[in-house]
């Protein structure tokens, strides 16, 4: 385990300090923000090569060693930090401070206002891709912790940058607007075909929007369209099918895996509107 990703019992700390303030990951990132490491282009290149080697490992070969070696070369390699968080784990109460520090590093390295790349190149460039991944993860963490307005604001910033739709930014933003009851913003996303929404998020999100707004004449048609988009989502929403604790990183449209991947965003949106869930349960029961 990395010295960065494992707390030390030997650390002498004052009682008033929080765990986030003393955790080695947070301390290391804070030091990097205050006093950036002097990384040569050769070191940065070696770090990226080590990260690429990590991505080529078979599942039974995966270990943090390549990532740790990469961070020795470039302590500010954001994607290495993300992979280590996934691989080694990080306590829930440390997710926000760690991801916030990572985003601060990304923003310092890549000032987006004024433009560094055309948005179409954001995913191809390792530096800008890292920004998108870190910011999306931070927005997800805001959402998981019930901070929905900051999550929506961050996804709104990311949406025009991820024009290739490599991340589910549009899906999460749509469902967060619906959770907040902002159907005007949600309907704008739904109406814009360029936003890269999945059929599942669009279908079930549109039905929820109609229910919130009381568009009763359109409910039957939209319900059928939502079912065609992904029938498994209905079972998840009304509790017939339990959502598994994990899901594949990639999936095909209309599949159970797609529904499970979107459940963390979809279920809270519907649960925020109990009357909509009651309508769906009642309509399914009448079949």
What distance in Å separates the CA atoms of residue 192 and residue 98, rounded to the nearest whole number?
A: 34
> pTM for this one?
0.84
Q: CB 145: neighbour CB atoms within 10 A?
A: 14
Residue 233 lies in a domain: yes
Residue 227 lies in a domain: yes
What distance in Å separates the CA atoms of residue 173 and residue 75, rounded to the nearest whole number?
A: 31
Q: What is the DSSP string of 159-184?
A: TTT-TT--S-HHHHHHHHHHHTT-HH
Residue 196 lies in a domain: yes
Residue 259 lies in a domain: yes
What distance in Å separates the CA atoms of residue 235 and residue 214, rounded to the nearest whole number?
A: 23
Residue 143 lies in a domain: no
Residue closest to 95 by CA, chosen among 81, 110, 106? 81
Residue 204 lies in a domain: yes
What distance in Å separates the CA atoms of residue 170 and residue 173, rounded to the nearest whole number?
A: 5
Burial class (CB within 10 angstroms; exposed 0-12, middle 13-18, buried 19+) of 117? middle
Q: Which domain holds residue 212?
A: 168-287
Q: What does the block give as tokens for 183?
A: 């159907």
Between the two ends of the chain, the Cα-to-Cα distance in Å is 54
Q: What is the DSSP letter of 10?
A: T
Of 6-20, 126-140, 184-198, 225-239, the range with the lowest mean pLDDT is 6-20
Residue 89 lies in a domain: no
pLDDT band (50, 70, 90) for residue 119: low
Which secondary-structure segment (H or E) carries 247?
none
Residue closest to 191 by CA, chosen among 177, 180, 179? 177
Residue 33 has a pLDDT of 83
Q: Taking CA 266 as the corner, what is the angle to CA 183 and CA 177, rounded to the nearest 5 degrees?
A: 25
Q: CB 77: neighbour CB atoms within 10 A?
A: 24
pLDDT band (50, 70, 90) for residue 120: low
Number of domains in the chain: 1
Residue 248 lies in a domain: yes
**Residue written as token pair 């009651």:** 278
Q: What is the pLDDT of residues 200-255, one digit of tens each?
A: 999 999 999 999 999 999 999 999 999 999 999 999 999 999 998 877 777 889 99
What distance in Å separates the CA atoms of residue 23 and residue 269, rounded to the nearest whole number?
A: 33
Q: What is the DSSP letter of 249?
A: S
Residue 63 has a pLDDT of 84
């Amino acid at each position: 385990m990395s010295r960065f990703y494992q707390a030390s019992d030997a650390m002498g700390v004052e009682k008033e300090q929080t765990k986030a303030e003393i955790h080695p990951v947070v301390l290391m990132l804070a030091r990097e923000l205050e006093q950036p490491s002097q990384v040569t282009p050769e070191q940065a290149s070696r770090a990226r090569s080590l990260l690429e080697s990590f991505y080529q490992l078979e599942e039974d070969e995966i270990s943090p060693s390549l990532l740790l070696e990469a961070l020795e070369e470039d302590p500010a390699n954001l994607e290495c930090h993300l992979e280590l968080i996934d691989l080694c784990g990080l306590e829930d109460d440390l997710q926000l401070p760690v991801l916030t520090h990572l985003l601060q590093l990304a923003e310092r390295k890549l000032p987006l206002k004024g433009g560094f790349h055309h948005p179409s190149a954001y995913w191809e460039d390792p530096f800008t891709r890292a920004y998108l991944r870190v910011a999306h993860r931070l927005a997800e963490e805001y959402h998981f912790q019930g901070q929905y307005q900051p999550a929506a604001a961050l996804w709104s910033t990311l949406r025009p940058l991820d024009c290739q739709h490599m991340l589910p930014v549009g899906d999460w933003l749509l469902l967060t607007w619906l959770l907040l009851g902002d159907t005007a913003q949600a309907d704008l996303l739904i109406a814009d075909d360029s936003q890269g929404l999945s059929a599942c998020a669009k279908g079930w999100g549109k039905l929820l929007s109609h229910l919130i707004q009381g568009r009763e004449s359109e409910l039957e048609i939209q319900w059928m369209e939502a079912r065609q988009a992904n029938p498994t989502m209905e079972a998840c929403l009304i509790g017939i099918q339990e959502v598994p604790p994990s899901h594949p990183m990639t999936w095909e449209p209309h599949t159970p895996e797609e529904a499970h991947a979107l459940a963390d965003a979809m279920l809270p949106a519907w649960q925020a509107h109990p009357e909509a869930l009651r309508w769906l349960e009642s309509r399914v029961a009448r079949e």
